[in-house]
Chains A and B, each alone.
Chain A
Amino acid sequence: MGCGVTKSTQLQLKPCNRGNISVPAATAMRAALLIQRWYRQYVARLEMRRRCTWNIFQSIEYSGQQDHIKLYNFFGYLMDHFSSANSQRNLVSHMFGDSDLFLDMEWERHVCYKEIEVPDIYTGPHLFFPLTISNVTELVDAFKNKQKLHARYVLQLLGKTWTLLRLMPNISHVCTCKHKEITICGDLHGHLEDLLLIFYKNGFPSAETPYVFNGDFVDRGKESIEILLVLFAFLLLYPHDVHLNRGNHEDHIVNLRYGFTKEVLGKYQVHGKMILKLLQKIFSWLPLATVIDQKVLILHGGISDKTDLNVIAKLERHRFVSALRPLKRRGASARQKDAALEPDGDDELSAGRRRVQSLTHGTPLRFRPEFPRHSVHSESGRTGRSVEQELRERRRLAGLSLSSDSDPAQVLETDADEWKQIVDVLWSDPMSQNGCVPNEVRGGGCYWGPDVSQEVLDRHKLQMLIRSHECKQEGYEFCHNGRVLTIFSASNYYDVGSNRGAYIRLGPDLIPHFKQFQSSRSTRELTLRQSVGRTELSALQALRMQLFTHKSALIHEFQEYDPQCTGVISVKHWAAAVEKVLRLGLPWRVLRSQLVTSSTQDGQGTLDYHHWVNQLSVIQPSTEIANTSLLETLYKHHSNLESIFRMIDTDHSGLISFEEFRQTWKLLSSHLQMDISDKAISDLAESIDFNKDGSIDINEFMEAFRLVEHSRAETEAPPSPE
């Protein structure tokens, strides 16, 4: 067999104790070797499949984030260059102007939970302030039993949390005090089960068991509000021993897209909007980083070559309500500034990865809609306010209040620097090469290399950086020669069986010890093979949906390779076309046979593409909507549409008027440079208005495309008194 066996090859007779027949040692050894070799190869093939699946999920996730950021770059552009049409401008300012943004003191008066009565029939947990440990334990148990906390208590708890957070510095300094061990958790993303598992294994937070939670508490999972309430409750109980860092998902704009807004509105139908508004403020007041023993830095995303903790420590973090909201710039000078910030050479495509201008690197030329540009002066003429007043008002509305006597241009530059510091901290990812480049895959922050880690950590006299932000199969991963550690605490993040969660115990020696876990009984019972299989199916389904949304574009590309319209193209061309349209950087040829079950190929490396595309159909819209390409376009942009809808629906009523729907669509279509007639939109709107009352229910609209996540039914909270 030619194998180099390192163990002793002495021929010892090791009879197996089964009856009288023994297996000669040499034979046993050869058989064992064979089985071992075979099995290891088998496991490797499984690992390959698992890794492919992972890449699929991750590409789709990141490209979704990129889309989202593109959208907001667009809105930012709109804000900078006021559009001509009065109505459009009103819509934009309506979306971005926060007319009920009170000053802090007024806000406190406004959030009056005292008027909210808790009825007798309420069976959920009661909170009494100041909180006690038994009260908090009761709260945790109530959530374990799927109960809901009454809105009154939610607002009360949030109000007190907000008051507390305002007293905290941007960077918390923690000491192990020579004997304590600190527990550090990564992303939780609404997975309450994982948090409870951590508490079960590790103990509740207390003076003896201090915790750091490193951001991304919400979105994606279905119990985000419960996680927040539990974390805040423990924070109020032990303000010196519980530390919360802000993550990129602690951002109301991101929440619009990734499920948290929907969750809160679903669970709290009457008071949801107030809760969300209060949370907006709380998120902006979350500290940005924690430092342990002045040696270990903990923050959510990462760093860049420009990261300066002294700058971060001094900035006013609450001014940056959303890391996605671009800073306001003056009309004319902004255009110059944009020009200076834009790099030469436009979005060149790297091997399949989409490149988008990142947030901190200027507005992309590509995404500017063709609005006739009016100067700031002509606009203000219409409103009757001076330019300065107008700008100040808009800045105030956007959440950035500036004192009137500071030089606007100078302040803006400082703003830009501070904003970049924050975006880098919340959105960056490490890479293995040296250097620091914009993070184009996510659309925000940067990719930083081992040299940057060394430089930044050494400059601040730090030993190590602990961050989260990226899902890891084992729940944690070292990089940059052990100086950077990623910790991720949401198990089964992509799907059941996709990954474990982990947390860190750090003692005075500052050596991290890991504890891994995976929630849900079913995953523990699955073998490796079964869990890989399941996740794979799920990823393929997600991929099929992505392909379907690009049907027309795909057919168009296929036809480019088929000038004679035979309906058949080579697999090689098929793969090139798919990558050109989707730009996910995936191995299409390998995936092809798994994407469509029936064979559409005649065995000679060619493919009947019409048939293949038809096989992808996954949705049957339940309403009779005639125009199928419009349908497809809407489906493709449904996440964006939903985000926009929710922004327009500022009173969170779940309804928008026809006019608003039409304007939304027009905005989006000009952004995407598509041409959809007003009539088509009106027809569509009418056909969706089922009860003919002149308004569209957002949820019904989404339902019309059967864009229902399989667990949506579970999130519909049972009717209960609020």
Chain B
Amino acid sequence: MKYEQEEQVMSGLSGDARRVKSLCFVKFAEILLLESIITETQKRISNAFDVFDHECNKTVDVREIGTIILSLGCFPSEAELHDIIAELEDEEPAGFVRYEKFLPTMTKILLEHKFRPITEDLLLQAFKVLDPQKNGHLEPEELTKYLTQEGESFTQEEIDEMLSAAVDPDKNVILYKDFVSMMTFDDTR
């Protein structure tokens, strides 16, 4: 509704009615917005699913589901991921996930922002915490120790791959601030 028309309608109402009316408008706008968000979200889910749907029959190998979920922008822990997948997997035949099950589950996860994103700042904070002396860098061995012994440990392959990108070749340390900026820059591409 155009602003002028709205004004006209509004001026004809009492205070409470006006408040209710504007709440309705807001709610309506919200619903429209939400609907378009849902559609957009579902489109993203569908696209991501299709990439791994090799036979074009709306099923994906269960071993690839983790990648799809993560690539849609959420940050569950390994354990949480494991739980989601267990719920999604077909019983008979095992080993596959069907789109009909995946879509509602994933939509819910994304819309509820269930797994809070890890921003650049937060990530930087994490690195800083491991560098209490504020050297501005970390030794590869240290970081390796933390990441392979704490939390949900990295495999050898994961830590190798990360170090190959993170370690500054000249100084042989991890300049974590640069590393974080470089990696998060990719997101904006």
Contacts and interface: CB of A to CB of B under 8 A. Distances in A.
Interface residues of B, number: 52
Instruction: Tell me the interface secondary structure of chain A in the complex.
Output: helix
Interface stretch (B4-12, B64-72, B104-112): B64-72
Contacts of A21: 132-133
Given A21-B132, A433-B55, A36 B80 contact: no
B88 to A, nearest CB: 16
Nearest to B114: A2
21 contacts: A1-B77, A4-B77, A4-B79, A7-B152, A7-B153, A18-B139, A21-B132, A23-B129, A31-B125, A34-B123, A38-B118, A40-B78, A41-B74, A42-B183, A44-B67, A44-B71, A45-B70, A48-B51, A48-B67, A529-B165, A590-B47
Given A3-B77, A4-B80, A433-B55, A35 B165 contact: no
Interface in A37-59: 37-45, 47-48, 51-52, 55
B16 interface: no
Contact of A38 (B123, B161, B165): B123
Contact of A33 (B52, B125, B152, B161): B152
A35 B147 contact: yes
B28 interface: no
A31 B146 contact: yes
A43 B147 CA distance: 15
B48 interface: yes
Given A23-B129, A44-B67, 10 more contacts: A18-B139, A36-B147, A44-B66, A353-B56, A431-B55, A432-B54, A433-B55, A527-B164, A589-B43, A589-B47
Contacts of A589: 43, 47
Interface string A1-28: 1111111000000001011011100011
A37 B76 contact: yes
Given A7-B153, A27-B129, A33-B77, A44 B70 contact: yes
Counting contact residues on chain A (CB < 8 A from B), the size range is: 35 or more
A208 B56 CA distance: 45
Interface in A630-652: none
B90 interface: no
A32 interface: yes
B158 interface: yes
Contacts of B146: 28, 31-32, 35
B75 to A, nearest CB: 5
B147 A32 contact: yes
B178 interface: no
A44 B68 CA distance: 7
A589 B122 CA distance: 31
B105 to A, nearest CB: 17
Nearest to A533: B186
Contacts of A34: 118, 122-123, 126
Interface string A496-531: 000000000000000000000000000000011100
Contacts of B125: 31
Contacts of A4: 77, 79-80, 83
Nearest to A51: B51
Interface in A568-617: 585, 587, 589-590
A351 interface: yes
Nearest to A526: B164
Interface in B118-139: 118, 122-123, 125-127, 129-130, 132-133, 139
A421 to B, nearest CB: 25
A350 B55 CA distance: 11
Contacts of A528: 161, 164-165
B168 interface: no
A589 B48 CA distance: 11
Interface in A227-260: none
A19 B133 contact: yes
